Amino acid sequence: MSARFVVGKVLGAAATLAFVVVFNFFLFRIVSGDPVATLFRGRNLTDAQRDRLTQEFGLDGSIWEQFFRYLEQTVQLNFGRSYTTNQPVVGEIWEAAPATIALVGVSAILAMALGLVAGVVSAWHRGTWKDTSLTSGSMVTWSMPDFWLGMLLLTWLAVGLGLFPTGGISDPGAGGGFSGLLDQVHHMALPALTLTLAYFGEYALVMRSSLLDTMREDYLVLARAKGLRDVEVRNRHAVRNALLPSVTLIAINFGFVLSGAIAVETVFSWPGLGLLTYDSIRGPDLPMLQGLFLFFSASVILFNLAAELVYPVLDPRVRR
Amino acid sequence: MSVPALISPRRLAWSRRGRALRVAWTDLRRTRTGIAGLLVLALFALIAIFAPLIANEEALSAVNAVDNPRYAAPSEFPPIGTDNLGRPVWDQIVFGARISLLVGLAATAIAMVIGTLVGVCAGFFGGWVDAVLGRLSEWFLVIPFIPLAIVLAAILGPSLRNIIFVIGITSWSVTALVIRSQVLTLKQRLYVERSRALGASGAHVMARHILPGVMPLVLANTTLTVPIAILSETTLAFLGLGDPQQISWGSMLDDAFAAGALSAEAWWYYVPPGVCVVLVVLSFSLVGRALETILDPRLRDRRR
């Protein structure tokens, strides 16, 4: 992997990020006319309040002045203060992020493992009942709104059978140490199960079609002709090569799944970025929503970059 | 000696397209999943169109439901029971179908127009147009959709028009990229070259050769975008960004969740809307995959 390739990819990602930052600026200004009036429709504002809000939104001065002030603040990671708590947006996002990253990380890894195995099984046994049931199962879970799946699991396993807590991240009375950790795992089980089921279908379908493509390659015929056992042909020759598209998909998805958990976190009142987003919509708490938007975008771009950089390491064929 | 009947080139082109369409239809009928999807979709289309005949719109407002029992189970209040305000779930499902399908189809229409325009222009003109439009499509591809839609919907305010606009404006990029690559191959075809050599203008080539060439692809992409648009509507409505005046399947789930139907174990309130979403989304993707397979025979081996 040449340095030029890496620099090119990093610059591309930086350009995308810059576009998102600029886009975020104009997003706020596409509101026709006076954003302050539009956002506080129906509410009476005194002139003093209006001036204060205009200043707070950074809407005073010419558009260029506004733009450069915005850029300066963004570089300093200053996205303003939340309307509801009056705390800096960055701090709130920082506090909520670990819960989301833990939940999404666990679910994404589980979904990946299950999805890849399911994809391999259904491709290797194409046309059998195993394939049919796994493929239709993947398509059905893909078609479900993820939060609705969460609602079903919540009522069945938590409300109905009482196996799991109905929400939150820990019991107030839970102690520290190992029992505290166990309590958090117990709380995470249902939202993690929901997200795992919701993501698993896509991985399974991609792995299946990629393995089916690989299965037509000549080197598999050769491997069989050498007299290798079926398992060896599958694991050492077919799966290894078919993994590549799935790995890319997984890396790219890691960024997307962070924001995909918004509605699911809401269902389980999991105190992460999703619940923060949900609470901010009610206001609407615009500085918070914009900060979250930038955060989610940046994470997608970073994971995308990581995927592009890792890909040539995994696949010598695209190495330049 | 028989002289072949003179047909105008336009008639010839249309008769060819008609034949291609019939072949595609025959192929589609052979795929069991595609036809099953079409039947389910037809059923939901009928429900949405004839909603006033099979359900009562008046029953949707809480004022007319004060005499009904609250959270009545299906056995007490056929066919599906009532919600926390006593409104019958059946009427909400039927009229919700209208809004959910309308948002899904209208948003997809917007996405297809933008995607086709961007894709055709990028592929056809090449050069800096392609560079700018290609970059733009890639940007929209990496920007996480739900947070963007949330910010847009929060700024614009919740209304049916805005939600359609927000979903449409954020879901065109895949289509644009697919169309662009198709245009690139179409441009190399001999009939395009011939047309150019005969002095056809760029506009003529685009309208007569390129656009008809990408239309089948647009159709397949439409059936694959509608399910995503419907899922997006469901999520956005659940997050409280739907039109407060209109009932959709997503807003039903939002209402059910907010009203505590989960702890009340009133499954007849929150299960049916989700089942409808799954059926419609699944059917659209089945039809879309079947169409894709017909258009791209290379996929055939993979899908079956």
Give a three-class secondary structure readout of chain B.
Answer: CCCCCCCCHHHHHHHHHHHHHHHHHHHHHHCHHHHHHHHHHHHHHHHHHCHHHHCCHHHHCHHHHCCCCCCCCCCCCCCCCECCCCCEHHHHHHHHHHHHHHHHHHHHHHHHHHHHHHHHHHHHHCHHHHHHHHHHHHHHHHCCHHHHHHHHHHHHCCCHHHHHHHHHHHCCHHHHHHHHHHHHHHHCCHHHHHHHHCCCCHHHHHHHHHHHHHHHHHHHHHHHHHHHHHHHHHHHHHCCCCCCCCCCHHHHHHHHHHCCCCCCCCHHHHHHHHHHHHHHHHHHHHHHHHHHHHHCHHHHHHHC
Best of B163, B238, B267, B276 to disrupt the A interface (most A CBs within 10 Å) is B238
Nearest CA to B103 among B38, B173, B163, B169? B163
Instruction: Identify the three-state secondary structure at position A42.
Output: coil
Look up tokens 């499954």; give the residue. Answer: B267
Q: What's the gap in Å between the CA of B171 and the closest CA on chain A?
A: 15
Angle at A123 between CA A121 and CA A125, to 5 degrees: 65
What the block records as the tokens of A99 is 């819960």
Task: Among A37-41, A100-104, A210-214, B280-284, name the one with the lowest average pLDDT.
Answer: A37-41
Q: Could you count the other beta carbons within 10 Å of the beta carbon of residue B165?
A: 17
Nearest chain A residue to B280 by CA distance is A143
Mean pLDDT (whole number) for B226-248: 91
Residues of B in contact with A154 (CB under 8 A): 262
In whole numbers, what is the pLDDT of chain A averaged over residues? 83
Q: Does A141 touch chain B (CB under 8 A)?
A: no
Mean pLDDT (whole number) for A304-319: 77
Q: Is the bond into B144 cis (omega within 30 degrees of 0)?
A: no
Per-residue confidence at B234, pLDDT binned at 50, 70, 90? very high
The predicted pLDDT at position B164 comes to 93
In whole numbers, what is the pLDDT of chain B averaged over residues? 87
Look up tokens 């917007």; give the residue. Answer: B110
Look up tokens 């028009």; give the residue. Answer: B161
Sign (positive or negative) of CA dihedral A192, A197, A199, A204: positive
Mean pLDDT (whole number) for B30-55: 91
Work out the burial of residue A280: count CB atoms within 10 Å of its CB; fewer than 13 is exposed, 13-18 middle, 19 or more buried: buried
Q: Is the bond into A284 cis (omega within 30 degrees of 0)?
A: yes
Task: Among A51-55, B59-63, B106-110, B218-222, name the one with the lowest average pLDDT.
Answer: A51-55
Region class of A44: left (phi > 0), else alpha (psi between -120 and 50), else beta = beta
pLDDT tens per residue, range A131-143 = 889 988 999 998 9
In contact, B44 and B276? CB cutoff 8 Å: yes
Report phi then psi at A226, rounded to 5.
-70, -15
Cα–Cα separations (whole angstroms), residue B137 to A20, A55, B109, B131, B174:
13, 34, 17, 10, 8
What the block records as the tokens of A7 is 């620099």
pLDDT tens per residue, range A208-266 = 888 888 888 888 888 888 888 888 888 888 888 888 777 777 777 777 777 778 899 99
Report phi then psi at A78, rounded to 5.
-105, 105
Residue A81 DSSP code: B
Residue A91 DSSP code: H
The predicted pLDDT at position B59 comes to 79
The predicted pLDDT at position A32 comes to 46
Nearest to B150 among A258, A281, A300 (CB): A281
User: Between these two residues, A127 and B95, which has the higher pLDDT value?
Assistant: B95
Q: Do A27 and B262 lie within an 8 Å CB cutoff?
A: no
Residues of B in contact with A258 (CB under 8 A): 144
Quote the CA–CA distance of B181 and B224 in Å, as a whole number: 18
Residues of B in contact with A31 (CB under 8 A): 155-156
What the block records as the tokens of A22 is 């600029």
Report phi then psi at A88, rounded to 5.
-60, 135
In contact, A271 and A168? CB cutoff 8 Å: yes
The predicted pLDDT at position A149 comes to 94
Per-residue confidence at A184, pLDDT binned at 50, 70, 90? confident
Nearest CA to B285 among A294, A302, A202? A202
Q: In whole angstroms, what separates CA A307 from the centre of its chain?
A: 15
Is a pLDDT exceeding 80 seen at residue A45?
no
The predicted pLDDT at position B277 comes to 96
In contact, A28 and A301? CB cutoff 8 Å: no
Per-residue confidence at A39, pLDDT binned at 50, 70, 90? low
Residues of A in contact with B154 (CB under 8 A): 281, 284, 286, 289
Nearest chain A residue to B273 by CA distance is A148
Cα–Cα separations (whole angstroms), residue A54 to A34, A40, A105:
9, 12, 40
Is a pLDDT exceeding 70 seen at residue A42?
no
The predicted pLDDT at position B2 comes to 57
Nearest to A143 among B227, B238, B302 (CB): B227
Q: Could you count the other beta carbons within 10 Å of the beta carbon of residue A42?
A: 4
pLDDT tens per residue, range B121-138 = 999 998 899 989 988 888
Per-residue confidence at B297, pLDDT binned at 50, 70, 90? low
The complex scores an ipTM of 0.88
Interface of A with B in 282-311 (CB under 8 A): 282, 284, 286, 289-290, 292-293, 296-297, 300-301, 304
Percent of chain B beyond pLDDT 90?
A: 36
Quote the CA–CA distance of B205 and B192 in Å, as a whole number: 7
Residues of B in contact with A263 (CB under 8 A): 235, 238-239
Instruction: Identify the three-state secondary structure at position A88.
Output: strand
Per-residue confidence at A55, pLDDT binned at 50, 70, 90? confident
Q: Do B267 and A145 lie within an 8 Å CB cutoff?
A: no
Report which residue type is found at A190: L
Angle at B250 between CA B247 and CA B251, to 5 degrees: 45
Is a pLDDT exceeding 60 seen at residue A33?
no
Is a pLDDT exceeding 90 seen at residue B108?
yes
Q: What's the gap in Å between the CA of B147 and the closest CA on chain A?
A: 5
What pTM was estimated for this model as a whole? 0.88
Nearest CA to B213 among B187, B176, B174, B190? B187
Nearest to B239 among A39, A213, A262 (CB): A262
Q: Which of A1-10, B17-26, B104-113, B188-197 tops mean pLDDT?
A: B104-113
The predicted pLDDT at position A153 comes to 93
What the block records as the tokens of A128 is 């059998």
Q: In whole angstroms, what separates CA B191 from the centre of its chain?
A: 32
Report phi then psi at B68, rounded to 5.
-80, 150
Quote the CA–CA distance of B180 and B177 in Å, as a whole number: 5
Residues of B in contact with A277 (CB under 8 A): 147, 150, 239
Q: Do B150 and A293 lie within an 8 Å CB cutoff?
A: yes
